[in-house]
Amino acid sequence: VQLVESGGGLVQAGGSLRLSCAASGFTFDDYVICWFRQAPGKEREGVSCITSTDGATYYSDSVKGRFTVSSDNAKDTMYLHIHEMKPEDTAVYYCAGYQSIAGVVADPSHPFDYWGQGTQVTVSS
């Protein structure tokens, strides 16, 4: 069972990036998958989630309007599109998953079953 992030790299401010989170070993479409980021010296922040069963999404206020989350259940992959990137988006980005609960919205504070290893995103000014 694992989640593997990819797509990180160095981007100029104002640019865009697409991160991927590929799942294996569990039924992706029964899960809530969230993206977190952690910058040096800062606490980990839950920025976006998607519930694979119905496509419901969550965005933190800090990224709303610039981040878009989507999933391809056939590929067991979730994507995070980051637009209009800023230097403060620089962080290690992680995806994590927990089994969805009917009628309960995605919540980045929920305990997670699986975590990826992270992918570095660096935004230059």
Statement: residue 103 has pLDDT above 90: no
Distance, in Å, from the CA atom of 5 to the CA atom of 97, rounded to the nearest integer, reads 12
CB 52 within 8 Å of CB 71: yes
Q: Which residue carries 């259940």 as its tokens?
A: 73
What are 42-66's pLDDT values in tens digits? Answer: 999 999 999 988 889 999 999 999 9
What percentage of the chain reaches a pLDDT higher than 70? 100
Take residue 10 and report the two structure tokens written for it.
């160095």
Residue 5 in tokens = 């992030």
User: Strands 67-72 and 31-38: what pairing?
Assistant: unpaired
Question: pLDDT-based confidence at 113, cuts 50/70/90?
Answer: very high
